[in-house]
Structure 1
Amino acid sequence: MEKYINAFVNAFYGTIDWTWKSIAFEVPWYTNYFWGLILISLFVWVLEILFPWRKEQSIFRKDFWLDGFYMFFNFFIFSIAISGFYKVLQEIFENIGITNKTIALFDPSEWSMWIQLLVFFIVLDFVQWFTHILLHKFPLFWRFHKVHHSVKEMGFAAHLRYHWMENILYKPLKTFGVMILFGFEPEQAYIIHFLAIAIGHFNHSNIKITWGPLKYIINNPVMHLYHHAYNLPEGKYGVNFGISLSLWDYIFKTNYIPEDSGKIELGFSGDEKFPKDFLSQNTYGFFKRKKDIN
């Protein structure tokens, strides 16, 4: 037990220390997610201001500051809070013989760096796409995922507006998927993480980009806007589940883009009753209400 307590404490304080060093520019620039997130956010926001898709939408759109808080909470504060638990879980797995080397199907150590990164990116994105479907398909998961879909005006910061419980589901599945198929996270994985942040910000931005012929591979704001549409095709619990790649939606026929005006209502049925503040949104999914939202 003492071993697990020490692992928890060391991971917790280690994450705090790394976050502070990131803020103070004491870590390598290419692994500085704190300032990296800020720079990417400012870049996409400036593009939103200069080239707005929905011109009637304010620069400081509805819930702009709430979404900004979600960005830093989910990316840093919650990561600090949960880091110790993941370290303990890792220790438990290692004690029973479950490690990267024992369950990996492939050994990519001899591959070139760029092949490793490409495979890592594809595997990670498919696991996220599949998990995203689960968040929509099962009512228990959907109760938490509603936070992300309560956005009524789309902008870059909506990318990281989600209930912290999604991390509890997403991160273990991502880790497990990478461990089984890949074995380990490549040393240069920071390239993929920054790329995913940038694509996610663009997908939620007020910019009309489709990437031309690459729209069948890379996700885009037009496609993702319809993922947030209030009115979905009859019989569908969701469409356009892609995270960074749109490829999976086209392969598995979950793609849907009827038009590209950007003039659609966002949200879900009954969202007018959904909590509007951070604390209430993040406790909503744990309690069953007499008149719950569909």
Structure 2
Amino acid sequence: MEDLNLQQIMEKYTDIFLNSFSGYFNYLMNEIQNPSLTNYFWWLIGLSVLVLSMEIIIPWRKDQKIIRKGFWLDVFYVFFNFFIFSLIGYNAISNVFVELFNDFLGLFGIENIIAFHIQNFPIWSQFLILFLVADFIQWNVHIQLHKRSWLWKFHKVHHSVKEMGFAAQFRFHFMETLIYKAIQYIPLAMIGFGIQEFFIVHMFGVLIGHLNHANLGWDYGPFKYIFNNPKMHIWHHSKALPVEHPFGMNFGLSLSLWDYLFGTAHVPENGKDIELGFENDENYPQDFWNQLKKPFKE
């Protein structure tokens, strides 16, 4: 970096930014056209079809329509948050941020910030460590999305769901991606995870998230104290909050473990037919564009 002048530095980051658009577009086209065992696009489609089929065959709320209220909006969010958003800028911004961060470390003679080389661990322990660390970070961030008023404005998008189904997992404002990824980056980078390990853990998380939001009446029996589940997560979306949990409850994404350990679990009864949402949600936008703008207007 010290051998580069300002113009060269700007050209370097501009090239990274611009090349990221074509790079991600080519990656996405390759994902769509070439299904494989590590293909995120088709895994997402496959898991979605699987859980939707389960909702059709064994629904918890039998009077809820298959194409429930907000279904197509949530389907759009699936593709926007995980593909379109990256295509229109997130991937480019991320690549520039990573390069800036690495160059910053280089000023101090640091090549990377890996503190724990988990690649030398048994493969099962690599998955377990990555899964636990990522989920614990997400649990903490999720609590802040409820407690901090400026973050809650963005998180309201997710809680605007009025009928639960698997795709409701992906109804969230794009700012949540920036918040989660920014906070996760350094801790996950420090354990030196591999791309393959991250892919498997991530897809497992997608499956659990699908099931948590699905119209399924499961709690996994004794495993409910470890894994989040539909009967627990529906209370997270409850419109009426108990006095002892004024900011919400059941914040776990994949694991319920953290909520039971730290006192934020709340499953008082069968919540199959409880009202979902938040106070005054009848005035909240029900279309993508206005939900996107709403937090910035408040």
* TM-score category of the 2 structures, normalised to the smaller one: over 0.9
Residues 228-271 of structure 1 show CA distances to partners (whole Å, capped at 9, x for unaligned) of 00001115201000000111101110000011241100000010
Distance (whole Å) between structure 2 residues aligned to residue 50 and residue 252 of structure 1: 36
Tell me the CA shift for residue 277 of structure 1.
0.7
Give the number of aligned pairs: 285
TM-score of the superposed pair, with normalisation by structure 1: 0.93
Tell me the CA shift for residue 117 of structure 1.
1.1
Aligned to 1:292: none
Query: Aligned match of 2:218 in 199, 209, 224?
Result: 209
Tell me the CA shift for residue 106 of structure 1.
1.9
Distance (whole Å) between structure 2 residues aligned to residue 16 and residue 100 of structure 1: 32
Tell me the CA shift for residue 211 of structure 1.
1.0
Tell me the CA shift for residue 100 of structure 1.
9.1
* Alignment check: 8 A CA contact 1:229 1:265 kept: yes
Query: Aligned match of 1:200 in 186, 191, 209?
Result: 209
Distance (whole Å) between structure 2 residues aligned to residue 136 and residue 258 of structure 1: 20
Aligned to 1:79: 86
Aligned to 2:6: none
Aligned to 2:129: 119
Matched, 1:281 2:291: yes
Give the unaligned 5+ runs of structure 2.
Answer: 1-9
Distance (whole Å) between structure 1 residues aligned to residue 295 and residue 110 of structure 2: 33
Tell me the CA shift for residue 101 of structure 1.
6.2
Tell me the CA shift for residue 12 of structure 1.
2.1
* Alignment check: 8 A CA contact 1:120 1:185 kept: no
Residue pairs, 1:179-198, within 5 angstroms: 179-180=189-190, 182-198=191-207
Aligned to 1:17: 26
Distance (whole Å) between structure 2 residues aligned to residue 140 and residue 30 of structure 1: 40
User: What is the DSSP-based 3-state SS (H/G/I as helix, E as strand, rest coil) of the residue aligned with 2:217?
Assistant: coil
Distance (whole Å) between structure 1 residues aligned to residue 286 and residue 121 of structure 2: 48
Tell me the CA shift for residue 275 of structure 1.
0.7
Matched, 1:63 2:63: no
Distance (whole Å) between structure 1 residues aligned to residue 111 and residue 172 of structure 2: 33
* Alignment check: 8 A CA contact 2:235 2:271 kept: no
Q: Is the alpha carbon distance of 1:196 and 1:101 closer, same or farther for their aligned partners in structure 2, counting shifts above 3 Å?
A: farther
Distance (whole Å) between structure 1 residues aligned to residue 202 and residue 22 of structure 2: 23
Residues 23-50 of structure 1 show CA distances to partners (whole Å, capped at 9, x for unaligned) of 111x6x1221111111111110111011
Aligned residue type for 2:294: Y
User: What is the DSSP-based 3-state SS (H/G/I as helix, E as strand, rest coil) of the residue aligned with 1:54?
Assistant: coil
Aligned residue type for 1:248: W
* Alignment check: 8 A CA contact 1:100 1:183 kept: no
Tell me the CA shift for residue 276 of structure 1.
1.1
* Alignment check: 8 A CA contact 1:30 1:190 kept: no
TM-score of the superposed pair, with normalisation by structure 2: 0.92
* Alignment check: 8 A CA contact 2:238 2:275 kept: yes
CA RMSD of aligned residues (A): 1.5
Tell me the CA shift for residue 13 of structure 1.
1.6
Bigger radius of gyration, 1 or 2? 2
Distance (whole Å) between structure 2 residues aligned to residue 185 and residue 163 of structure 1: 28
* Alignment check: 8 A CA contact 1:205 1:221 kept: yes
Give the unaligned 5+ runs of structure 1.
Answer: 289-294
Tell me the CA shift for residue 11 of structure 1.
2.0
Tell me the CA shift for residue 103 of structure 1.
3.0
Distance (whole Å) between structure 2 residues aligned to residue 257 and residue 287 of structure 1: 34
